Every structure is written in C-alpha cells, then in structure tokens.
A = this chain, B = another copy of it.
C-alpha cells in the first residue's frame, strides 16, 4: 500500500494540540453566546453578532468532529481520537443545553426578528431564520418544551433496544460443513446457484427474527408510538406531516412517490420478476430466489488508477470544474482506500465547510468498488461545490438532494460501461446491476415507506401493534409488492424486523426521490440536454440555500410533477427490455 492511498487528515490539523486550541476557542464562543442571552435581541447589531458567533462556533465544532470521527473510523483503538470524540460529543450536548433558549425566543420575538432581517447585512441568514420561524409554529411553551426535552432518554429506548439485540445465527451446513451465517454473509448465500442453500440460509436467518418477534414488536411499535407522540404533542395532523415539515414538503409528495412505485409502475417490477423466473428456469420461484445468479459476473479487476481513468471519462460530461475536483481528491489525498483491521466497514463521504470532503472506502478492486468510489465522489463534489458557492449557513444540503449527486454519477458510470462493453454477457451484467439498484431504491423503499406509514398511522390512532398484526400487514404488503410470479417464504413476514430504517422516522422514501430524480436527469443528459446539465451543476452549487423542493424545481426536476417519474420509470423499462433482448433473443 503506497502512502498516498491513505487520507491526509493533517490538512485539518497538522498537530493534535490544534484540536484542543479550537476546543478552547469554541468554549469561549459558547460562553459569549450564553452570556448574551438577555441582550442579543436588543438590537439588529446584537442579533447579527449573535448569529455570526454561532456560525463560528458551528464551524469549529464541525471541524473538530470531522477530525475526531475520521480518525476513529480508521483507528478505533487509538485513545487519542476516542478522547477527542468524547470531548466533541459532550461539548455538543453542552451547546444544546446552554442555547436552548433560542427556539422559544425566536417564537416569542418573531415580529422583531423579521424586522431585523430585512436589512441586507442579514442576507446570508435570511433563509435559515425564515425556516426557523416556519418550523417554530410547532414549538410549544417553555414549560412544555422543557418537559419534552426530559422525555429524550425515554424516547430512545425503542431504537436502543433494537440496536442492542444482536442476533446469532445457527451455522449454515453446506456439503456437511458449517458456514458462518450472519447479515454480512446472507447475501452471498442468496446468490448461491443452489435453491436449497438459498432457502436454508433465508429461513435460518429470518427464523431468528421470528424467535425474537415479540421483542422486535415492542421496539418497532415503540418507535412508532414515539413518533406519533411527538407529532401529536406538537399539533401536527399526523406523524407523516411532522416528518415532512422538516423539509417543508407536502403530503402530496409522499403520496405521489408511493402511488407511482406501488401502483402506477409496479407492473414493471413484476415484469422483471417474471423475467428472472424465466431466466432461472424455476417452476416454483420464491422470494429468496430473487438474487439467484442468471447472468455471468465478469471477473474483472480495476486498479485505483484504472478506476480514476474511467471516472474521469464518465465525469468529463460536466466539464473542467467538476473534473478538477476529482483530481484534487487524488492529489490532496481525500480518500482512505484500503480495508484495514478495525477500520469501519462500508463507505462514506464526510466533511465540513472548513475541511476537505473526505471519503472512506474499503476498496477491493471489483466493479462494486468502482461504483462505490464514483458514488462517494459525487457526494464529495457536491460538498465541495456547496462550500465554494454558499456561505457557511447555507452550504449544508439535506438528504432529499444529497442522493442525487451520488446516484447521477453511478448511473452515468453504468451507461459508460454499457457503451464500452465488448460482449452481450458484459452488457447484460451492467444492465442487471442498474436494474437491481433501481429496484432497491425505486420499488422496495416505497413499499417499506407504505408499511412504515401504516404502522405510524395505527400508532397515531392508538391501535395496538402486536407481532401478529405487524407481520400480517407485512405479509400482505409483500404479496402485493412481489406480484403473482413470486411465492413468499413463510419467514418473510418476520423480515420486517431486520430493517433499521423503520427507526428513522420516514426516511426511506427520500432515497426513492433521489434515485427517481437522478434517472430523470441522466436520461436527459444522455440525450444531450444542455439546459439540464447547467441546471444540475447549479443544484450542486446551491447547497442548502433553499427548500429542497425548490432546489429540485430549479434543477428542472420538479418532484411534484409527473414528468420525472415518467422519465425515470420509462428509462427503467427501456433497460429492462434491453436485458430481455440480450437474454432471450
């Protein structure tokens, strides 16, 4: 391993004591803010100064946090960074306690503050203050807010208990030999050519979830009750409205995403399943057969340099500025490439206004590594451009738009690979990769969302959620979801207990929107749509300076308009038909 394949965190702090100098400075800033508690609203000048000091504080905290957590993730046993991490986390707690007056103050002094921010000196703060005012409609009296803050520990019990319940699985016996079965190896067995192995792996795995179904029913219903409680107390009409309010999105958007995937275009998913059944030649096609191999996987390896060469070709469509970011990522060493003992698994992009947008990888040179790299580079380019074009308060983007930058890149990569594929088999492989990724985000997540929504709604109506009612519901939804060609295994109803996203309060449909928008954008880019290219690059530069829906509208992909769904699903259908031709014609 050459040293330039580790990330260079000295660009954040080149000596550890600089971290502690920043911490000292941050504590001073917090003290200043706290001490101005009774005077910061006395004048526009005071208020502006308060906001600016607060921004400085946030920037320092984010910088320290990025430094500590990146170091911890590659070197978890190093006490130097664990100590930094606990200092940051406990300081964040201090900030939230000491500045808890801000929200209620904004509510009680709305008129005054709105007058203050008319002045152009508040230009950078206007959006975020208006957002605070909008969300403040649901802030309650100081007495109730204090009481609600006391419920925090209790409200975390469902997800904490879910996280703590780590299951152990009986070993999977193959040819008389025991094999490790766990969430890391399950997918491997589901891709095994033997239906017997797939079935046994699936049943043994989800059988453990059945065994503990009553605990999971308590934690899952608990988290639904938690969301329903806060929604009701804060006077939202439903848990859904409470969640959408954070992004200022209408219920209509949620309904549209679910209707498109779960009703209008579900036949495309069913068609894909029928194609798999035919390709595998199975008379009895079960849901544990959906990942069975029917396409040959090219045994190709990509060195880091080869990956960058491909990525640069793919990205060249966006011009010099974007390309230069990719080059900086390499020359400034933003990326930690290789797996190491103790290093965090998976991949992410993480950075802040005052750091580079670093990338953690576990690069092993297969096509998946290449895909992951271009995906994370999408996030990093987004962060980089946002920081370049926006003020610190407006640079942070939300999950709604975040996934666009990454999946646009991923989809462009697949198209590049398709174009450059030399055999029918290679073509089929890349289309299959694309379709699988679309199914996961555009069909499965909306089904999850519908299930979660029904659980939230029942919780809001105080209906009891036993394991029986939860798994009955999940079973019925899966039958509609998979369609008539797929037989559900008897353990499928319990697989709902495996999914952590149900503890994230209406999170999964945001992935769907990201993918839909991305497919619509890519399908237009591939047709040479220059206006779309311009609008997309502007989206990356806009960070969090507007409501996410406005950002998307300005990027010509209005999520309330049918067009993007039609574009995205039509693109899916085109690819599906092409796979069919490659396989059967």
Contacts and interface: CB of A to CB of B under 8 A. Distances in A.
Given A144-B147, A151-B151, A157 B219 contact: yes
Contacts of A233: 147, 150
Nearest to A226: B154
How would you classify the secondary structure of chain A's contact residues: helix, strand, loop or mixed? helix
A212 to B, nearest CB: 7
Interface string A211-223: 1101101110010
A9 B394 CA distance: 73
Contacts of A459: 153
A430 to B, nearest CB: 42
A215 B154 CA distance: 15
Contacts of A165: 165, 212, 215
Given A165-B212, A214-B164, A153 B229 contact: yes
Contact of A218 (B160, B217, B226): B160
Contacts of A212: 164-165
Given A165-B215, A215-B165, A229 B154 contact: yes
B157 A229 contact: no
A225 B144 contact: no
Contact of A151 (B214, B215, B229, B462): B229
Nearest to A222: B157
A158 B218 CA distance: 9
A471 to B, nearest CB: 14
Interface in A115-145: 143-144
A282 interface: no
A233 B229 CA distance: 17
A219 B154 contact: no
A155 interface: yes
Contacts of A154: 151, 154-155, 157, 222, 225-226, 229
A218 B161 contact: yes
A232 interface: yes
Contact of A157 (B150, B157, B211): B157
Nearest to A164: B214
Contact of A215 (B147, B155, B161): B161
A225 B462 CA distance: 23
Contacts of A218: 157, 160-161, 164
Interface string A186-226: 00000000000000000000000001101101110010011
Given A153-B459, A164-B214, 8 more contacts: A143-B144, A151-B154, A154-B154, A154-B229, A157-B161, A161-B222, A164-B218, A215-B215
Interface of A: 143-144, 147, 150-151, 153-155, 157-158, 160-161, 164-166, 168, 211-212, 214-215, 217-219, 222, 225-226, 229, 232-233, 459, 462
